[in-house]
Amino acid sequence: MNKNKSTRNLLPPKRKYTFILVLLAFSGLGFLYGSTFIFNWQILVSNAKAAVYFTQREDSETLTHSTKNIVLGEQPSQKYSLPNCKNTFTTGQINGYRNPPTNVNIVQNIKTVNSKILPLYTAESHNNNRNNELPMWKRNAVLTKADGRPQIAIVVDDLGLDINRTREAMDLPGPLSLSFLAYAKDLPHQVETGRNKGHEIWLHVPMEPGSINIDPGPNVLLSGLPPKKLLSILRWNLDQLEKYVGINNHMGSRFTTDEDSMRIIMSELKNRGLAFLDSITSPKSTGMKIAREIGVPTAQCNVFIDHDNDITAINRQLSFAEALAKRQGRAIAIGHPRTKTLKALKIWIKTLNIRGFQLVPVSSLLHFSKKR
């Protein structure tokens, strides 16, 4: 008897194919279970397009909040990777991060592994406990590394009301620091668009101006209010947005000079792990002083680029920001979503790198007190 022939006839054809299919099914289930066990991923399906893994733990902690990427971190004794996946490394855009550090690798086309469609997992940290210990501002900051050049941060605030101009601002090269008015409509959608383009997100909170003839908008923070009332209004503003770095003041030339009121604001920011950017709408602002006193990461505006809504004047202010950055190593400039401002910024940003400056988000320029 032919031994090979007898072996082939042990199972009828239909049962033989069924048996093979069952074995393949169990093998696939085993592979998926083993993958999630070994890599300890969050089992949540997302629309991720790329995987990012890091060789430095602090980088992983900073960039593990994008829902558009799969982030694989590295523990001291274990490096994560995708089995059976032919890795392609590039220094291209990571979900809007246009200049990723050299220690970042992108694994492309991970939807297909050996021609099989696998579930994609969110980029929540593989160690949520450690990630949750980070302050809110750091969890939502855009990661940049100083390269030795003078640094300039561009803030575009008053965003969210004019949706078309807000969209134009978000289309600018970044990373920019985009500050959205707390009372703007459709904030989550607008903010997510800006975040996905690689910009850093801030909240623009209305504060009492110096003149009663100026309208700062609804739910404005007013000096002289009872502490509980002031705190209630502040919390309403802060709760309008999620996943942002901190706040900067919309107007506030009167409010920011009131130390008692500012202490209430800074205490709440401290409790939430948020940062404060002082727009310096008054030379008597106590923002930086109180922030440092309470231990809130802080920075202040150095230049307003569009007080004069004229292209020549805007370019002059941008040149002033460059001169300041050369002199002191850093500068923060604030502009607004106006047609001429956006036009000037689009041209200016394109040539900034050639002129020897590094564009950074505000989080890269924060100051810290001893209470940090």
Residue ranges of domains in the chain: 39-131, 136-365
Contact between residue 201 and residue 244 where contact means Cβ atoms under 8 Å apart: yes
What amino acid is encoded at 174 in this protein?
G
Structure confidence at residue 49 (pLDDT): 35
Structure confidence at residue 201 (pLDDT): 98
Pairing of strands 78-79, 74-75: antiparallel
CA 309 vs CA 8, 120, 209, 334, 339: distances in Å? 84, 47, 21, 13, 9
Q: Quick one: CATH architecture of 136-365?
A: Alpha-Beta Barrel (3.20)
**What are the per-10-residue average pLDDT scores of the chain (372 residues)?**
46 58 61 42 32 34 33 34 34 34 38 30 40 86 93 98 97 96 95 96 97 93 96 97 96 96 98 97 96 96 96 97 97 98 97 96 88 53
The tokens of 280 are what?
């310096």
pTM exceeds 0.85: no
| Alpha-carbon gap, residue 306 to 333, rounded angstroms | 10
For tokens 């990777």, name the residue: 81
| Alpha-carbon gap, residue 347 to 350, rounded angstroms | 5
The helix-helix angle for 163-170 and 187-196 (nearest 10°) equals 20
The tokens of 23 are what?
């074995």
Residues in the chain: 372
| Alpha-carbon gap, residue 154 to 175, rounded angstroms | 8
Contact between residue 349 and residue 359 where contact means Cβ atoms under 8 Å apart: yes
The tokens of 231 are what?
């705190």
What is the distance between the terminal CA atoms of the chain, rounded to a whole angstrom?
A: 84
Contact between residue 42 and residue 124 where contact means Cβ atoms under 8 Å apart: yes
Please state whether 79 falls in left (phi above 0), alpha (psi between -120 and 50) or beta: beta
DSSP-assigned letters across all residues of 207-275: E--S-TTS---SS-B-TTS-HHHHHHHHHHHHTT-SS--EEEEEE-TTGGG-HHHHHHHHHHHHHHT-E
